[in-house]
């Protein structure tokens, strides 16, 4: 057999090598050019894990920089599923530490997410015990958790978040995009044996801080007095709004029922509702201010015009309307003071439906105020074309129309400031953060529009002052300040019958002070009080207590006479008028010059004791004075003790001193402010101690 030459053999080997390398090259070319993305993705899925890190939400502050909502770092436990080889064993070990069943933990480990969360908000002790187990694939890390230091304080306004830090109410919801920030990420690369070979981290960007117009001390006053009123009247709900009438800034919004923002899930939905903007009700007699405003603007009445109130009844389009008292002839000013329904209806008939509608529309009735809070209700105010024959009579006295407490605060503030409607707002500034500045222009754009002529507003201020001097609002008279206001008592609709309930009312009072230089507007609304239910009797004293404390806290100069000891005794006594026309002796003469008998003062109520969650106040000055213990002392004793030491007392409430800030023994500088809260122990259960099963 003839042997092949070496050249042939080498040629064959070379040819086979070329074909083999060509096939490999072709395969590599194919994979690199046509399958590159697919295989790169597979490799990344096998080698890399990306875990998102939660950003720190921006803090929420009151107008003085006090923290209302903050995010604090807290330990949490998570798993890397790719590293956990024996899930039942891991679950069994963790269940002994985390106080959770092994079945639940094993279910979490089976979650398709590559980094399932096992437990959140761990104490340092528990976190250390988990780490001591040294379980493969189980890690402890810090994450920001939302905390509300004041718990119940302004909880409906501030809002709350869910377990994933999503805003679910109030400012937390409406500014969630700005407050949330931008999440970060951690990219971990591992080899075939799951050993970590690289880690790349992109830091999360914190959210923007928000400063509110609320003042936590004014908020505390409003919530304390509302809680006291709820306890005294057994109302099912209530609201207090405190507004700066010259800018639309909201200084306080108090709601009852309330809830702890740190544990929102423990409370029903109605407790988390911001009634100041979401709950509409028939305003009743407070609407008469708009009726008179329309009459004055259209030149169909003056304060001194005399109207025949027909001894308490009027027939309108087949409907007989009774007054609460058989009045005869009253001036227009006196009609507002005594809250005569018949007189108000007769004035509205002079005005006409179209004019009354236009005036109310300019005041914002039936429209959103535009406040920067979610869930606002625009109320109900039908077009004039949809009014019935007797609608003008009903609307003149605050029926067939519904408003929110915020709408009432807005239109009464317009009367207080000279006729301008400001958009109410609770956001003062959106500060530094990853999304800062998005709303700054909108915040600055608080331009006002004119609702009524300045002269008409001045006339209404004088008449509303008469309400608290001579009329149904006498229980709202302030000590040392002039004030003006209007009471309201509206029957509720019975859902079962569709008619007005004979014993369920919404009681309200709205006013402002001082009269000639208003610093605040206060609205008080109580839903379904038991027993006395007239606005002046029930809501008027709440207005008085809130307004007096806030004006003193704001250092507004006194412009009115101090209440005499006789008047104070009447306020604190057991006198209780069953009708708003109860008479008193020796009253002051009406500024309108009429000789009608006056409405009696009604017994007030002592403020409630301080809440254990009362806000703190910052103090300045050089150290040099030891703060004394003021507990149990009267207002006068506290004032004298502070004056001797050169300290400036800020007195909140009355009665005996229950708590103070700074505490006794602290060293402060002369001239420093000492906030002392007064009350009557045992009068009511503070909001912070309410349970969910009442």
Question: The CATH number of the domain where 566 resides is what?
Answer: 3.40.710.10
Q: Which residues sit opposite 316 in a β-bridge?
A: 319
Q: What is the CATH number of the domain that holds 658?
A: 3.30.10.20
CA angle, residues 183, 185, 188, in degrees to nearest 5: 170
Q: Retrieve residue 105's tokens.
A: 């933990």
Q: Among 572, 598, 613, where does a domain finish?
A: 572
Q: Which residues of the chain have pLDDT under 70?
A: 1-4, 39-40, 42-53, 184-204, 432-447, 562-624, 643, 653-654, 670-671, 680-694
Provide the whole-model pTM. 0.71
Q: Whole-angstrom Cα distance, residue 648 to residue 639?
A: 8
Q: Over the stretch 144-159, which tens digit does the pLDDT of each residue have?
A: 888 898 889 999 999 9
Q: Which helix (H) or strand (E) holds 648?
A: strand 648-652
- The answer to whether residue 263 is domain-embedded is yes
pLDDT of residue 231: 92
- 165-218 per-position pLDDT tens digit: 888 889 999 898 888 877 766 655 655 555 555 555 666 687 888 999 999 999
pLDDT score, position 288: 95
In a shared domain, residues 162 and 258: no
**The pLDDT of residue 312:** 86
The DSSP code sequence of 241-303 is EEE-TTT-BEEEEEEES---TTSGGGS-HHHH--HHHH--B--GGGGHHHHHHHHHHTTS--T
pLDDT digits (tens, 9 = 90+) for 497-507: 888 888 889 99
**Does any domain span residue 672?**
yes
The pLDDT value given to residue 605: 32
C-alpha atoms less than 13 angstroms from C-alpha of 523 in its C-beta half-sphere: 31
Residue 588's pLDDT is 33
Predicted pLDDT at 10: 84
Q: Are residues 59 and 171 in the same domain?
A: yes
What is the C-alpha separation between 471 and 285, in angstroms, rounded?
13
Q: Which of 212, 238, 269 is the last residue of a domain?
A: 212
Closest CA to 507 of 229, 263, 291, 265: 229
- Count Cβ atoms below 10 Å from residue 112 Cβ, excluding itself: 6
Task: Output the pLDDT for position 601.
Answer: 30
How many angstroms separate the CA atoms of 267 and 257, rounded? 10
Residue 606 lies in a domain: no
CA distance 630 to 584: 38
Instruction: State whether 14 and 91 are in the same domain.
Output: no
Distance CA 471, CA 323 (A): 15
Residue where the block lists tokens 């300019």: 362
Whether residue 615 is contained in a domain is answered as no
141-144, Cβ contacts within 8 angstroms, sequence gap of 24 or more = 141/75, 141/76, 141/78, 142/73, 142/74, 142/75, 142/76, 143/53, 143/54, 143/73, 143/74, 143/76, 144/54, 144/55, 144/56, 144/57, 144/71, 144/72, 144/73, 144/74
Gap between the terminal Cα atoms of the chain? 111
Domain end marker among 212, 232, 267 = 212
Could you give the CA distance from residue 563 to residue 688 in angstroms, rounded to a whole number?
Answer: 33
What distance in Å separates the CA atoms of residue 420 and residue 457, rounded to the nearest whole number?
A: 9
Q: Taking a C-beta distance cutoff of 8 angstroms, is the pair 141, 244 a contact?
A: no
The whole-angstrom separation of Cα 146 and Cα 162 is 9
- % the chain with pLDDT above 90: 41
Same domain assignment for residues 192 and 221: no
> Does residue 402 sit in the same domain as residue 275?
yes
Instruction: Kindly state whether residue 547 falls inside one of the protein's structural domains.
Output: yes
Domains in the chain: how many in total? 4
What is residue 230's predicted lDDT score, i.e. its pLDDT?
A: 93
Phi, psi of 502 (to 5 degrees): -75, -15
Do 30 and 89 share a domain, yes or no?
Answer: no
Q: Do 351 and 421 belong to one domain?
A: yes
The tokens 């969650």 sit on which residue? 613
Same domain, 234 and 183: no
> Same domain, yes or no, for 548 and 639?
no
Residue 252 backbone class (left: φ over 0; alpha: ψ -120 to 50; beta: rest): beta
Residue 605 counted as domain residue: no
Domain contains 66: yes
Helix or strand run (H / E) with residue 508: strand 500-513
**Residue bearing tokens 């092994």:** 102
The reply to whether 13 and 126 lie within a common domain is no
Residue 432: predicted pLDDT: 53
Same domain (yes/no): 146, 174: yes
- Does residue 498 share a domain with residue 413? yes
Residue 673: name the closest of 690, 639, 649 by CA.
Answer: 649
Is the residue at 604 inside a domain? no
Tokens 């096992």 belong to residue: 118
HSE-up of residue 176 (Cα within 13 Å, Cβ side)? 14
Q: Which domain holds residue 83?
A: 50-212
């Amino acid at each position: 057999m003839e042997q092949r030459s070496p050249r042939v053999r080498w040629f064959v080997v070379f040819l086979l090598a070329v074909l083999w390398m060509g096939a490999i090259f072709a395969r590599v070319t194919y994979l690199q050019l046509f399958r590159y993305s697919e295989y790169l993705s597979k490799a990344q899925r096998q080698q890399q894990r990306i875990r998102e890190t939660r950003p720190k939400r921006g803090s929420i502050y009151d107008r003085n920089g006090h923290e209302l909502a903050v995010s604090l770092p807290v330990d949490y436990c998570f798993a890397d599923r790719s590293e956990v080889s024996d899930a039942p064993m891991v679950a069994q070990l963790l269940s002994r530490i985390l106080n959770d069943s092994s079945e639940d933990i094993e279910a979490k480990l089976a979650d398709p997410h590559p980094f399932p969360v096992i437990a959140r908000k761990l104490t340092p002790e528990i976190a250390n015990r988990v780490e001591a187990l040294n379980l493969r694939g189980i890690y402890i890390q810090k994450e920001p958790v939302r905390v509300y230091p004041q718990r119940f304080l302004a909880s409906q306004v501030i809002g709350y978040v869910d377990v994933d830090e999503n805003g679910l109410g109030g400012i937390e919801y409406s500014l969630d995009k700005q407050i949330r920030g931008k999440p970060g990420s951690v990219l971990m690369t591992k080899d075939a044996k799951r050993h970590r070979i690289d880690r790349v981290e992109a830091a999360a960007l914190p959210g923007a801080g928000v400063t509110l117009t609320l003042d936590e001390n004014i908020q505390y006053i409003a919530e304390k007095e509302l809680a006291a009123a709820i306890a005294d009247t057994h109302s099912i709900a209530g609201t207090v709004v405190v507004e700066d009438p010259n800018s639309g800034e909201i200084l306080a919004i108090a709601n009852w029922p309330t809830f702890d923002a740190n544990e929102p899930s423990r409370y029903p939905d109605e407790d988390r509702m911001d009634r100041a903007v979401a709950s509409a009700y028939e305003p009743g007699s407070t609407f008469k201010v708009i009726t008179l405003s329309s009459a004055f603007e259209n030149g169909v009445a003056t304060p001194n015009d005399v109207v025949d109130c027909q001894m308490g009844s009027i027939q309108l389009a087949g409907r007989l309307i009774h007054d609460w008292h058989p009045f005869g002839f009253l001036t227009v000013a006196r009609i507002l003071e005594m809250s005569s329904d018949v007189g108000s209806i007769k004035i509205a008939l002079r005005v006409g439906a179209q004019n009354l509608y236009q005036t109310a529309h300019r005041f914002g009735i039936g429209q959103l105020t535009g406040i920067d809070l979610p869930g606002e209700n625009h109320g109900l105010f039908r077009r004039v074309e949809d009014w019935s024959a007797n609608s003008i009579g009903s609307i003149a006295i605050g029926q067939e129309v519904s408003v929110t407490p915020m709408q009432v605060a807005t239109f009464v503030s317009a009367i207080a400031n000279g006729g301008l409607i400001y958009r109410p707002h609770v956001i003062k500034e959106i500060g530094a953060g990853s999304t800062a500045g998005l709303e700054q222009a909108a915040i600055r754009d608080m331009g006002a529009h004119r609702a009524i002529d300045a002269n008409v507003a001045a006339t209404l201020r004088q008449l509303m002052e008469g309400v608290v001097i001579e009329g149904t609002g006498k229980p709202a008279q302030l000590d040392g300040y002039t004030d003006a206001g209007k009471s309201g008592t509206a029957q509720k609709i019975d859902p079962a019958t569709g008619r007005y309930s004979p014993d369920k009312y919404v009681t309200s009072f709205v006013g402002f002070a001082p009269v000639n230089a208003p610093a605040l507007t206060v609205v008080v609304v109580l839903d379904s009080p038991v027993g006395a239910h007239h606005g002046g009797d029930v809501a008027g004293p709440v207005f008085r207590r809130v307004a007096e404390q806030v004006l003193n806290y704001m250092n507004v100069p006194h412009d009115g006479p101090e209440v005499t000891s006789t008047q104070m005794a009447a306020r604190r006594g057991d006198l209780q008028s069953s009708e708003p026309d109860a008479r008193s002796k020796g009253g002051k003469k009406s500024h309108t010059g009429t000789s009608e008998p006056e409405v009696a003062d009604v017994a007030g109520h002592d403020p409630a004791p301080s809440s254990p969650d009362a806000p703190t106040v910052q103090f300045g000055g050089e150290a040099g004075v030891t703060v004394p213990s003021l507990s149990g002392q009267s207002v006068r004793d506290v004032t004298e003790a502070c004056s001797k030491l050169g300290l400036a007392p800020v007195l909140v409430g009355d009665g005996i001193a229950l708590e103070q800030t700074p505490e006794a023994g602290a060293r402060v500088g002369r001239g420093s402010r000492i906030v002392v809260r007064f009350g009557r122990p045992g009068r009511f259960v503070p909001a912070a101690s309410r349970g969910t099963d009442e």
